[in-house]
């Protein structure tokens, strides 16, 4: 079985990638991940979901995290300009 890594170690090993984690340790609200066992990683989220699913059978819990920061892809100011006229 692989080692449990802290989230800081996971981010250092797999920068700006999607990481599938087995048996994640999370806060009570289940929103923040503290550590877990990396099962599969890739820059492509769909690849992690499809290729990683056969690696999850031995784990009670799994989660998917992104180790980078999200950038806005679309400006939404146009609709507000039209509504205010």
Q: What is the pLDDT of residues 27-82, one digit of tens each?
A: 999 889 999 999 999 999 999 999 998 999 999 999 999 999 977 766 665 555 55
Of the CA atoms within 13 Å of residue 81, those in its CB half-sphere come to 4
Rounded Cα–Cα distance for residues 14 and 44 (Å): 12
Rounded Cα–Cα distance for residues 80 and 61 (Å): 42
Two tokens, residue 51: 């290729």
């Amino acid at each position: 079985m692989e080692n449990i890594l802290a989230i800081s170690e996971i981010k250092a090993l797999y920068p700006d990638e999607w990481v599938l984690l087995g048996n994640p340790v999370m806060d009570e609200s289940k929103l923040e991940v503290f550590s877990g066992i990396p099962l599969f990683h890739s820059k492509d989220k769909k690849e992690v979901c499809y290729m990683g699913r056969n690696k999850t059978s031995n784990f009670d819990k799994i989660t998917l995290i992104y180790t980078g920061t999200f950038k806005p892809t679309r400006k939404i100011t146009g609709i507000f300009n039209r509504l205010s006229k």
